[in-house]
Amino acid sequence: MEQVFAYVISLGAAVMMPILFTIIGLCIGMKFGKALKSGLFVGVGFIGLNVVTKLLTDNFSSPLESISDLYHWSLQVFDMGWPAAAAVAYNTAVGALIIPILLGVNFLLLITRCTRTVNIDLWNYWHFAFIGAVAYFVMGESLAWGYFAAIVCYIVTLVMADLTAEKFQKHYDLPGISIPQPFCQSFTPFAILVDKALNLIPGFSKLDVDAEGLKRKFGVLGEPLVLGVIVGVLIGAAAQLDIKVILILGVTMGAVMELIPRITSLFIDGLKPIAEKTQEVVKKKFKGKKVYIGMSPALVIGHPTTLVCSVILIPVILAVAVVVPGNQFLPLASLAGMFYLFPLILPFTKGNVVKSLVVGFVALVAGLYFVTDMAPAFTQAAHEVYAATKNDAARIPEGFEAGALDFASSLLGWVIYKCVASLEWIGAGVLTLITVGMLVWNRMRIVKEEKAE
């Protein structure tokens, strides 16, 4: 079983998702050709997204490290990036069987009407495996603690996916879709609380500027493409590079801002036929019931507000990371993860650039502390995985601890980690009560809505 699922994961999302979408399409009555085409669009989208994010990290990692050296930013938590977190997640006893176990949990919750989301975003199951792996090592290599942490994270994420589904669908015009990815869902509480706090400030409503409004106010300077060029040039200048390299960095960042929305449109082209057919089948077979397809947030990271906020926050969070007291983490390899902050923030801020920036900033600053606090546990897990597998993704440079923006800066992951590592059985009890309470409340809500419909 371990070998089978390790092989499936090694195929990557670009291969897994076309196969999975084709199978789902055939199961719901789509013609083979149409189902295959939908799946291939999604697969091509993942390949395009990987190329673009690699373009970002490959070109900007070195200049950002140069800036760190020039200004003597000596922080002790090394940014391993999400590949290291995924390597730690899947190369443990917990990660080996995480997919079949969580799919079983999902099926059980569906038939008991505790959730409406079918989480087919298999590649991002590594998030659940990661928090499970951390719990596994900090609790003395206990499988019970590891699976407990992973399952709690999974269930809470499914409930949150249900609760945010309607806002998400309305904002992005994607009926029948939810986002059961715990990294993104961790920013939902920040979006709700900060948005409400900002609404209490007199006159703040006048700053209601979306991405299109930004273009109207600032003309070409409000375009994500041009903002990307400006930020790229500023990073190159701060690294004291020659003019040729500075200009290349500017155009590269601009290219990333321009290419991401074009690539993410492929996801939507592939997903819409599947989503529409699923809703049609559900309406026909199960009157009054809804089923959401749980998908990757990669679907919507090309939204103009996401691009604008991400490119502005990149230099801002680098500067903040070195001045906030107690932080030891400098995001470098995790730059591409910046885009994934906003998919579930925008539905609550209604795409307002200013509000989204404030929410993103607050969430990122909190995330720096989460990464710093979890670094010893991440380091222990990475050392164990590297010793067992010699996987270079899990190798930590000498004298540093391990960190990553995704998934170690997640509120949900950090709360589960603290409850398990610091409170042990008391923490397990608290997490169980919260999880069961959310399930019961979500089921009552679903049953009530189905009766009404």
Q: Answer whether 85's CB lies under 8 Å from 404's CB.
A: yes
Percent of the chain scoring above 70 in pLDDT = 95
Q: What pLDDT sits at residue 286? A: 67
Crossing angle of helices 13-27 and 32-70, in 10° steps, is: 150
CA 439 from chain centre, in angstroms, equals: 23
Tokens found for residue 17: 């998702």
Averaged confidence pLDDT in the chain: 89
| Placement of tokens 């290349």 in the chain | 248
Q: Helices in 339-424 by DSSP H: which ranges? A: 346-349, 353-389, 411-418
Residue 126 has which token pair? 């590594």
Residue 353 has pLDDT above 70, yes or no: yes
The owner of tokens 């019931």 is 289
User: What is the rounded CA–CA span in Å between residue 89 and residue 84?
Assistant: 8
Q: pLDDT for 28-47, tens place per residue?
A: 889 999 999 988 998 898 88
118: which DSSP letter?
A: E
Q: Residue 397 pLDDT more than 80?
A: yes
> Is the peptide bond between 218 and the residue preceding it cis, with omega within 30 degrees of 0?
no
What global pTM score does this model have?
0.88
Q: Is 141 helix (H, G, I), strand (E, B) or coil?
A: coil
Rounded percentage of the chain residues whose pLDDT exceeds 90: 52
Please list, in sequence order, all residues whose beta carbon lies within 8 angstroms of the beta carbon of residue 40, skipping any fewer than 6 positions away.
Answer: 18, 270
Residues sharing a CB contact under 8 Å with residue 57, sequence separation 6 or more, in sequence order? 81, 333, 335, 336
Calpha distance 347→173 (Å, rounded): 11
CB-CB contact of 122 with 16 (8 Å): yes
Predicted local distance difference test score (pLDDT) of residue 335: 79
DSSP 396: P
